[in-house]
Every structure is written in structure tokens, then in C-alpha cells.
């Protein structure tokens, strides 16, 4: 996968930048996309694939390109690999302050402490008979995708049992 800056337009309040994204697969298939970064948000503007993507593959495209695209856009990835957050690549928050042990946007702790807390919220919701993913979303302030990633990390760390056996 490769990501490169395509062009940037500056105005009085900031800038909008476009990035080219290319995924190449071993069988010769490829996906080309144009992503735009504006006001701290990354959006996909155009996608072309050869052969054409199925709807499932199109939905998975965001997961495939999220981390490399975020790094190229300067949004940053958490040091523990948790995914994009509001910290810069050097570990500082948007105001230049050290992000420390919490995510700049939500105050949710990183690493083992955050994984343990996610597991606690998840299990408590299960015991109460409520939606555990929604409980994690509410506790962290993140959307469904990021919350599912945090739950997966808690599973990988051994705080939650595996959802299903892998064959």
C-alpha cells in the first residue's frame, strides 16, 4: 500500500489536502482512491478498483487504509497501535502538550489500563443484559468502529475471552 500527497489548497483559515492511495494485491488486483483531509477529518472522495470491489470489500476498504492514510495525513497513530487519534506522530496533542497516558480527544487511557477498563465495561453490560458494544461506546466516547477495535485489543490482551474459535 502506498499513500502520497496529491495537492493542497490553503485559505485564510486553514488548508484542505488531497492524498492518493493505492493498494496492490498479489493477484494483480488494485484499488486507487483519493482521500481528502479537511479540518482534521479524512474522507474518501473517489475509489476505483480493478476488478470492481464487492460491497463487503468496499466496506472493508476503510479498515485497510485507515492507519497508513492517517499517518500520511499527519493525524497520527497511538503508540500502542490502537489506531488514529488526536495526537501528532510525536506523541503530542493538537495543542502541542504531551498526550501522556490518555487519548487527547476522550481522556480514555491507552494501553493495558484502557484495555482493562474496556473489558470491565463490556462484562458489566453483559451481566446487566445490555449491549456491551454500546456500553463501551458510551464509556469511551468513541464510535462503533473504534470501540470494536478497543474490544478486540482487550480480547488480544487476555482480558476478555475469544468470541469464537479460529480454525
Beta-carbon contacts of 118 under 8 Å, excluding residues fewer than 6 positions away, are 136, 139, 140, 150, 151, 153, 154, 159
CA atoms lying within 13 Å on the CB side of residue 86: 18
Query: What are the residue ranges spanned by the domains of the chain?
Result: 2-73, 78-167
Beta-carbon contacts of 64 under 8 Å, excluding residues fewer than 6 positions away, are 1, 23
Q: What distance in Å separates the CA atoms of residue 88 and residue 165, rounded to the nearest whole number?
A: 37
Task: Using only the alpha carbons of the chain, give its radius of gyration.
Answer: 18
Instruction: Return the number of other C-beta atoms located less than 10 Å from residue 3's C-beta.
Output: 19
Does the pTM exceed 0.75?
A: no
**Full pLDDT tens readout for the chain, 167 residues:** 888 888 888 877 778 888 888 888 888 888 999 988 877 777 888 999 998 888 888 877 877 787 777 777 776 544 444 443 444 433 434 333 333 333 334 567 777 888 888 999 999 998 988 888 888 888 888 888 888 888 888 888 888 887 765 55
Amino acid at each position: 500500500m502506498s499513500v502520497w500527497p496529491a495537492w493542497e489548497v490553503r485559505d485564510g483559515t486553514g488548508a484542505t489536502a488531497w492524498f492518493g492511495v493505492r493498494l496492490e494485491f498479489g493477484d494483480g488486483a488494485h484499488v486507487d482512491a483519493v482521500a481528502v483531509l479537511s479540518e482534521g477529518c479524512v474522507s474518501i472522495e473517489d475509489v476505483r478498483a480493478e476488478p470492481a470491489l464487492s460491497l463487503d470489500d468496499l466496506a472493508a476498504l476503510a479498515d485497510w487504509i485507515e492507519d497508513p492514510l492517517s499517518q500520511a495525513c499527519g493525524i497520527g497513530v497511538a503508540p500502542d497501535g490502537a489506531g488514529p487519534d488526536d495526537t501528532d506522530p510525536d506523541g503530542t496533542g493538537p495543542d502541542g502538550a504531551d498526550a501522556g497516558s490518555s487519548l487527547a480527544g476522550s481522556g480514555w487511557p491507552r494501553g493495558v489500563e484502557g484495555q482493562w477498563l474496556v473489558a470491565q465495561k463490556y462484562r458489566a453490560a453483559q451481566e446487566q443484559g445490555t449491549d456491551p458494544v454500546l456500553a463501551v461506546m458510551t464509556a469511551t466516547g468513541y464510535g462503533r468502529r473504534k470501540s470494536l477495535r478497543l474490544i478486540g485489543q482487550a480480547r488480544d490482551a487476555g482480558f476478555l475471552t475469544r468470541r469464537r474459535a479460529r480454525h
